[in-house]
């Protein structure tokens, strides 16, 4: 599929477990393969190539590009979800989908059933928070030190000091100051 970065890490860590479009409504025509079809990445953008989608917290609501906020989506499904959420027109894109459906039907030369009526949006189950987020500070520090793929921004809003190592940052952030005792 040609995906890299956060989506690959999310799959390796078990956050993305299926190669299907994770948007509430997938617009990919069944004639192309539906939610499970992804076009290979090329130099040209393709409506049906795999993209990263911020979920369960959308980017517009402060969601970050982390493995625990990742869903695999078609480029066009991702765009249409944002347009629908923002109340923008999607008519031009729906026409592109109709043309893609017709082109796929022509290329396969098989009888094609008419497009089904609009399906009800798929209700997403909320993902449970990772267990390490509920650990006491000392145990969380040990876990974060043992798992270097967990980003700083996924567990704190604090920033590292200039030149500060990850280990020192974790200890500083999760260990109370000696004066507080």
In order of 14, 18, 130, 146, 173, the CA distances from 138 in angstroms are 25, 34, 17, 13, 11
Burial class (CB in 10 A: 0-12, 13-18, 19+), 75: middle
Whether pLDDT at 96 is above 90: no
Q: How confident is the model at residue 167 (pLDDT cuts 50, 70, 90)?
A: very high
What is the pLDDT at residue 143? 92
Q: Stretch 88-115: mean pLDDT, rounded? A: 79
Mark 147-171 as b/e (b = at least 16 C-beta within 10 Å): eeebbeebbeeeeeeeeeeeeebbe
Give me the percent of the chain exceeding a pLDDT of 70.
Answer: 92
Rounded CA-CA distance 129/68 in Å is: 9
pLDDT attached to residue 160:
92
Parse the chain into domains and list their residue ranges: 6-108, 131-180
19-53 b/e with 16+ CB inside 10 Å = b?
ebbbbeebbbbebbeebebbbeeeeeeebbbbbbb
Length of the chain measured in residues: 181
Mean pLDDT, range 75-81, rounded to an integer: 89
């Amino acid at each position: 599929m040609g995906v890299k970065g956060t989506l690959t890490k999310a799959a390796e860590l078990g956050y993305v477990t299926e190669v299907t479009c994770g948007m509430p409504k997938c617009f990919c025509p069944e004639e192309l393969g539906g939610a499970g079809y992804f076009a290979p990445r090329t130099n040209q953008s393709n409506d049906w190539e795999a993209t990263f989608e911020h979920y369960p917290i959308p980017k517009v609501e402060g969601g970050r590009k982390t493995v625990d906020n990742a869903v695999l989506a078609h480029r066009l499904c991702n765009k249409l979800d944002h347009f629908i959420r923002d109340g923008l027109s999607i008519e031009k894109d729906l026409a592109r989908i109709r043309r893609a459906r017709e082109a796929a039907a022509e290329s396969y030369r098989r009888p094609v059933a008419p497009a089904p009526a609009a399906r009800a949006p798929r209700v997403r189950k909320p993902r449970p928070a990772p267990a390490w987020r509920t650990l006491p500070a000392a145990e969380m520090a040990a876990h974060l030190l043992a798992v270097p793929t967990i980003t700083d921004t996924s567990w704190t809003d604090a920033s590292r000091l200039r030149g500060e190592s990850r280990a020192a940052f974790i200890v500083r952030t999760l260990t109370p100051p000696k004066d507080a005792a």
